[in-house]
Amino acid sequence: MNKSLLFLPDISGFTKFVQTTEVEHSQHVISELLEVLIEANTQDLQLAEIEGDALFFFKEEEIPSLEKLLAQIETMFTAFYSHLTLLEKNRVCPCNACSSAPNLQLKIVAHSGELQFINVQNKRKPFGAQVIEVHRLMKNSVDSDNYVLLSEALTNEIELSVNYRSKLYHFQTGENEYDDKKIKYLYSVINNKELKIKPFAQAKKIKFDKAPSICFQKDFPVSASQLLEYITNYKYRHKWVEGVDKFEYNEKEVTRIGTEHICVINDKHLNFVTVTKAGKPGQLIYGELTTSPPPVDELYQFYIINPLTHDSCNIEVEIYWKAKSILKKVVLFLIVKRIIKKNLGKALNDLHSFVTKMEEETLSS
């Protein structure tokens, strides 16, 4: 039987991250990162299990060459830190989960050996001593949370020497004892500065040279950050926005600049994308842009939240629009403006009622 590869990417700092941050957003962040690692699989590795903050891949009776394996490792590190950079640069949420996500790190442990398999719920999964060993290797003496570790069994197969050097890899020897058995390995701490972080579209802050077409203000009995969560978490939208059949969005994603959602009204799809604009210190700003309504070419809606006390805030809602033709401008001024003001005023009142109810339930629980 040919040797198989066992390959475990593990997100470092996960336990502390979850214990000290908002649970729902931390779950979204970890889910996104795991998806990124899965998509970065270039060697046709089979996913055996998602283990909380880690992935367990294997390649049955085949081990990639040294060059291919090191390239696979670099691809995963690059994808992981590219996504963390995107989360950091385009975030709108001030919560601990979103603000501390860039502190997460990645380690990858790989091993080789003969695999056995068992069937669990009609799914074939790796089983046996090598599976136990690769998981135990996750607990090692490497003084870092950002590294790759390859067992001696694997380095012998791919002929990797401790003398191997590149811009990214500087291998060292190590060993640990598990159940009276010493397992040797080579490891390399990863210098993130040597990764070629993928470029991404970073949204610019939108500027306007005119006053908003519509503006509303209202005080809310909730903290500024919590009100932002109620507004930006689309699962709450149907609680305070009437007339929409459904909201379509990525439930596993934390809302950030560039994220999209769709309002379905009478089978018509209105597409929105998250934007932002400059504000005053202390303000929380969330904006949406749509080009879907026929009377306008662009419509911007900004929620500007100003903290008042620890558990109260004020919100300013600003509407800006752009219309190229004279006819569109006339329709906007005579008809659409009145409709938007009516709907927005009701939405703010319904949001206030929803927020008040949620806070009362929280206090009483």
> pLDDT category, 21, cuts 50, 70, 90?
low
**Which pLDDT value is given to residue 14?**
74
Encode pLDDT of 245-284 as tens digits: 999 999 888 899 999 999 999 888 999 999 999 899 999 9
Q: To the nearest 10°, the Cα dihedral for 340, 341, 343, 348?
A: 130
The reply to whether CATH 3.40.190.10 applies to domain 214-364 is no
At residue 3, what are phi and psi to the nearest 5 degrees?
-70, 150
Domain edges within the chain? 4-194, 214-364
Using the predicted structure, report yes or no on whether residue 329 has a pLDDT greater than 80: no
Using the predicted structure, report yes or no on whether residue 7 has a pLDDT greater than 70: yes
Q: In this predicted structure, which of 18-22, 37-41, 251-255 has the lowest mean pLDDT?
A: 18-22
Using the predicted structure, report yes or no on whether residue 138 has a pLDDT greater than 80: yes
Encode pLDDT of 199-214 as tens digits: 876 666 788 888 999 9
**Which pLDDT value is given to residue 203?**
63
The reply to whether CATH 3.30.70.1230 applies to domain 4-194 is yes
Using the predicted structure, report yes or no on whether residue 161 has a pLDDT greater than 70: yes
Q: How many Å apart are CA 76 and CA 245, to the nearest integer? A: 40
- Please enumerate in sequence order all residues whose Cβ is within 8 A of that of 341, keeping only pairs 6 or more positions apart, or say none: 214
**Which pLDDT value is given to residue 1?**
65
**Which pLDDT value is given to residue 120?**
84
**Which pLDDT value is given to residue 202?**
64
**Which pLDDT value is given to residue 201?**
65
Q: Around Cβ 32, how many Cβ atoms within 10 Å?
A: 19
Q: Around Cβ 130, how many Cβ atoms within 10 Å?
A: 21
Residue, of 82 and 96, whose pLDDT is higher: 82
The DSSP element (H or E) to which 273 belongs, if any, is strand 268-275
**Which pLDDT value is given to residue 204?**
66
Q: Give me Rg for the CA atoms of the chain.
A: 26
Q: What average pLDDT does the chain have?
A: 91
Encode pLDDT of 44-60 as tens digits: 999 999 998 999 999 99
Q: How many Å apart are CA 124 and CA 47, to the nearest integer? A: 11
Encode pLDDT of 297-327 as tens digits: 899 999 999 999 999 999 999 999 888 888 7
**Which pLDDT value is given to residue 322?**
85
CA nearest to 335, candidates 321, 315, 349, 350 = 321
Q: What percent of the chain has pLDDT over 70?
A: 98
Using the predicted structure, report yes or no on whether residue 121 has a pLDDT greater than 90: no
pTM of the complete model: 0.85
